[in-house]
Amino acid sequence: MTVLGLGQQAADDDLKALLARELERVRSRSLGLTTDVLEVDELLAQHSRLMSPLVWDLAHVGNYEELWLVRAAAGIEAMRPELDDIYDAFEHPRAERPTLPLLQPSEAQSYISTVRSKVLDSLDRMSLDPANPLLDKGFVYSMVVQHEHMHDETMLATHQLRRGAAVLHDVPPAAAPRDAAALPAEVLVPAGTFTMGTSDDGWAYDNERPAHDLHLPAFYIDTAPVANRAYLSFVEAGGYDDPRWWSTAGWAWRTESGKRSPAFWLREGGEWLRRRFGRVEPLPPDQPVQHVCFHEAAAYARWAGRRLPTEPEWEKAASWDPVARHKRRYPWGDDDPTPAHANLGQRHHQPAPVGSFPAGASAYGARQLVGDVWEWTSSGFERYPGFRPFPYPEYSEVFFGGDYRVLRGGSWATDRTAVRTTFRNWDHPIRRQIFAGFRCARDAAPGEGA
């Protein structure tokens, strides 16, 4: 074997070890949200028609793993082909999943454990062939890891909707940043061309590809997400009762739903409270507002004399280094996230105060672009120029168009594997159970940032 070949083998072995660790880490998280904390009846129950029974999610991630890592990658014969239809998210909407012949929790746990054993055994022997797009840089394994983490965040949303006693361990909130009061309300992003998306990130999904250059006029974007304190001013000023601030679709949603505040907010005895994973507590004024839908975010922005950022504006503010003319994988650079950079991975079970994480600031000075809350943008979910579906059209292509709106940046519940600055999330503009907030933007005046 040549020296180059030995070097490549060592690199492949390191990558396989990383993938194995990530597979084990996400599984520990999945069990910690299901069989480790809830009884059988709670796992089988549908806590909201918006969500699946938690046991469906648990078996689904195992079935997805079997499809892609046991069958497609390793070429091993199907273990439980009769499960494919039951756990196909496109065949069965969430509202009807409780009526399916779901695996019982003990069966689901046994099934996903057997799948995982086959995956880890075959990974040792796998050739991460760069000529095979599924295996190049371990793409299909990273896809499965991210898929399970996404379902873990969905399961956390189910826990938030669940009624009953708290079962998740309460984690102390992050401390407020010392310099928050001195931060500017917004930062200027000068006009210019930047690179949108990516063509070479081995963990990136098809909708993040390919990289392409865009020119944007100068704009301002908030230094931090909108806080509960600021959003409460909108609520108490009658913002939910004034159609001037709402789009036609937004006002229709507001009047039909009857909503007057973000999801899980309560007002008792003149005090604003929130319900969080079975606990009722005072509303923390300095945390980013969360559990607001797109229509609420857009209405607040109009009331404040501003607007939501477009998706390209958000990505430029988060990723572009104007001095080095370099695309950053994270706002602070290319180094992996640490607790000093962002609030991720369920570390606090809630957002950190606005203005936190100076080490995680972007080149323009904006903070908390990663973690804390998903941020609504004004953009619909559309394909990039040169888009090609891979490895299956149902991941992205079938969702392009329609009324979907793009969210960026991840939340406190999102894992670090899915918060690169090119990662795109999307949802219907009425969704509030997700851990979503927003920040505002505005056009720069002529001559500013030229």
Alpha carbons 71 and 130: distance in angstroms, whole number: 19
What is the SS3 assignment for 348? coil
Alpha carbons 326 and 322: distance in angstroms, whole number: 7
| Domain map (residue ranges) of the chain | 3-161, 171-450
pLDDT confidence bin for 5, thresholds 50/70/90? low
Alpha carbons 247 and 403: distance in angstroms, whole number: 13
Do 60 and 87 touch, CB atoms closer than 8 A?
A: yes
pLDDT confidence bin for 450, thresholds 50/70/90? confident
Pairing between β-strand 326-327 and β-strand 425-427 as defined by DSSP bridges: unpaired
Alpha carbons 45 and 191: distance in angstroms, whole number: 52
Alpha carbons 8 and 195: distance in angstroms, whole number: 30
Instruction: Write out pLDDT tens, residues 348-388.
Output: 999 999 999 999 999 999 999 999 999 999 999 999 999 99
Residues 6 or more apart whose CB falls under 8 angstroms from that of 274 comprise 264, 265, 266, 280, 281, 282, 283
Q: What is the arithmetic mean of pLDDT over 423-441? A: 97
Do 307 and 440 touch, CB atoms closer than 8 A?
A: yes
State what percent of residues in the chain have pLDDT above 90. 89
pLDDT confidence bin for 4, thresholds 50/70/90? very low
Is 1.10.357.10 the CATH classification of the domain at 3-161? no
Q: What pLDDT is stored for residue 7 in this prediction?
A: 66
Q: What is the arithmetic mean of pLDDT over 205-222? A: 97
CATH of 171-450, one of 3.90.1580.10, 3.40.640.10, 3.30.870.10, 3.20.20.450: 3.90.1580.10
| Predicted TM-score (pTM) above 0.75 | yes
Q: What pLDDT is stored for residue 152 in this prediction?
A: 97
Run of H or E residues at 363: none
**Within 13 Å, how many C-alpha atoms sit on residue 108's CB side?**
27
Do 62 and 103 touch, CB atoms closer than 8 A?
A: no
Q: What pLDDT is stored for residue 386 in this prediction?
A: 97
The DSSP letter of residue 338 is: -
pLDDT confidence bin for 342, thresholds 50/70/90? very high
Q: What is the arithmetic mean of pLDDT over 402-431? A: 96
Q: What is the arithmetic mean of pLDDT over 227-240? A: 98
Do 337 and 376 touch, CB atoms closer than 8 A?
A: no
**DSSP per-residue letters across 234-263:** HHHTTGGG-GGGS-HHHHHHHHHH---SST
The DSSP letter of residue 389 is: -
Run of H or E residues at 276: strand 271-276
User: What integer best gives the mean pLDDT of the chain?
Assistant: 95
Would the pLDDT of 284 be above 60? yes
Number of neighbours of residue 96 by Cβ within 10 angstroms: 12
State what percent of residues in the chain have pLDDT above 70. 98
Q: What is the arithmetic mean of pLDDT over 84-111? A: 95
Q: What pLDDT is stored for residue 372 in this prediction?
A: 97
Please tell me if the domain spanning 3-161 has the same topology as the one spanning 171-450: no
pLDDT confidence bin for 320, thresholds 50/70/90? very high
